[in-house]
């Protein structure tokens, strides 16, 4: 009986020690969640305006090419002769974030053709996962070192590589796969087509009588603005993915703490019952011994 009590006591101590770690990780994730949420909200206007400008230029280029009856800029068209699509996948660098990375892997498995498409992982977890996956034949590791701590100049250089690879006809499309942040409890894998550019543009009401003034043709401006657009898109999705990661980790640690509380409650009841049984047995033995002597 004493060995059973000691075993339960050790389990209680072990759960309490683990709970200290999960509580500390939950606090850290909560602080980071707030920081990334602020960055996400502050960066939204810039990223949104960059996307709006490039769509507007693509819209003008499409209209202009239709009027002149010529082919639009190749940035508006898929490279039909290319073998497949380039998927840039943003994962986490650390674990203990519940199904955050696994959901990304499932999403990629549904859309990625290993025979044709190329995968460019961002984040330690995706790099490790796909480097050891025999099904992934085409890996582009130029993006592996990118994260929020990366110098923007290097991020801009990566964007220029994307542009050059698309210009060379290496890929039909360039797709960025990330985790879309809905709220603190909901985040889901999503994708954004970086290239070819979308020409779907809904203008502001004032543009009907006060259109934007351009210093060059839409085609020339697309060529100049594209690297900035790609850089802002990748960086903003990095922030959104980090925000989703911290929200997932905070939720996972909160669930771990709740499970630990439930387990501690069960173990405490089990310990008290065993202790009560042991005390009762000792009393019975003492009373029986006293009765036998009398």
Confidence at residue 174, expressed as pLDDT on a 0 to 100 scale: 95
87-97 mean pLDDT: 92
10 Å CB burial of residue 176 (0-12, 13-18, 19+) is buried
| Domain assignment of residue 39, yes or no | yes
pLDDT tens by residue, 183-230: 888 889 999 999 999 888 877 777 777 777 788 888 999 999 999 999
Confidence at residue 1, expressed as pLDDT on a 0 to 100 scale: 54
pLDDT tens by residue, 103-138: 999 999 999 998 899 999 999 999 999 988 877 888
State the Cα–Cα distance between residues 95 and 106, nearest whole angstrom: 17
| Domain assignment of residue 248, yes or no | yes
pTM of the model: 0.86
Q: Report CA-CA distances (Å) from 7 to 14, 265, 270.
A: 11, 16, 11
Q: Beta-strand (E) ranges in 149-211?
A: 171-183, 186-195
Among the listed residues 191, 233, 192, the one whose alpha carbon sits nearest the alpha carbon of residue 103: 191
pLDDT tens by residue, 155-182: 889 999 999 999 999 999 999 999 999 9
Domain CATH code at residue 180: 3.40.1380.10
CB 143 within 8 A of CB 205: no
CB 63 within 8 A of CB 214: no
Confidence at residue 294, expressed as pLDDT on a 0 to 100 scale: 60
| Domain assignment of residue 7, yes or no | no
| Domain assignment of residue 10, yes or no | no
Percent of the chain with pLDDT over 90: 51
Confidence at residue 130, expressed as pLDDT on a 0 to 100 scale: 92
Please give the full DSSP string across 216-275, using - where no structure is assigned.
S-HHHHHHHHHHHHHHHHHHHHHHHHHHHHHHHHHHHHHHHHHHHHHHHHHHHHHHHHHH
State the Cα–Cα distance between residues 58 and 199, nearest whole angstrom: 5
| Domain assignment of residue 189, yes or no | yes
State the Cα–Cα distance between residues 255 and 50, nearest whole angstrom: 39
| Domain assignment of residue 275, yes or no | no
Quick one: pLDDT band at residue 152, thresholds 50, 70, 90? confident
Percent of the chain with pLDDT over 70: 97
Domain containing 222: what range? 21-202+213-253
Q: How many domains does the chain have?
A: 1
Confidence at residue 2, expressed as pLDDT on a 0 to 100 scale: 60
140's tokens: 């582009």
| Domain assignment of residue 269, yes or no | no
Share the mean pLDDT of the chain: 88
pLDDT tens by residue, 17-42: 999 998 999 999 999 999 999 999 99
| Domain assignment of residue 6, yes or no | no
């Amino acid at each position: 009986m004493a060995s059973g009590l000691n075993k339960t006591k050790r389990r209680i101590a072990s759960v309490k020690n683990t709970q200290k770690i999960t509580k500390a990780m939950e606090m850290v994730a909560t602080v980071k969640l707030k920081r990334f949420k602020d960055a996400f909200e502050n960066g939204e206007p810039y990223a949104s305006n960059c996307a709006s400008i490039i769509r507007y230029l693509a819209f003008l280029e499409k209209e202009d090419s239709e009027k002149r009856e010529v082919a639009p800029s190749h940035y508006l068209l898929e490279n039909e002769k290319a073998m497949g699509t380039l998927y840039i996948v943003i994962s986490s660098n650390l674990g203990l974030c519940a199904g955050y990375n696994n959901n990304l892997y499932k999403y990629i498995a549904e859309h990625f053709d290993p025979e044709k498409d190329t995968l460019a992982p961002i984040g330690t977890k995706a790099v490790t996962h796909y480097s050891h996956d025999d099904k992934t034949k085409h890996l582009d590791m130029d993006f592996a070192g990118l994260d929020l701590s990366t110098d923007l100049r290097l991020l801009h250089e990566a964007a220029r590589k994307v542009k050059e690879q698309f210009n060379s006809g290496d890929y039909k499309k360039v797709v960025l796969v990330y985790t879309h942040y809905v709220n603190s409890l909901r985040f889901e894998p999503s994708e954004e087509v970086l290239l070819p550019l979308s020409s779907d543009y809904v203008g502001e009401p004032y543009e009907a009588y006060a259109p934007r003034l351009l210093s060059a043709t839409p085609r020339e401006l697309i060529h100049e603005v594209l690297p900035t657009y790609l850089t802002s898109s990748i960086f903003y999705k990095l922030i959104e993915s980090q925000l989703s990661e911290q929200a997932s980790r905070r939720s996972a640690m909160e669930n771990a703490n709740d499970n630990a509380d439930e387990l501690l409650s069960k173990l405490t009841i089990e310990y008290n019952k065993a202790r009560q049984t042991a005390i009762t047995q000792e009393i019975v033995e003492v009373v029986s011994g006293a009765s036998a002597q009398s």
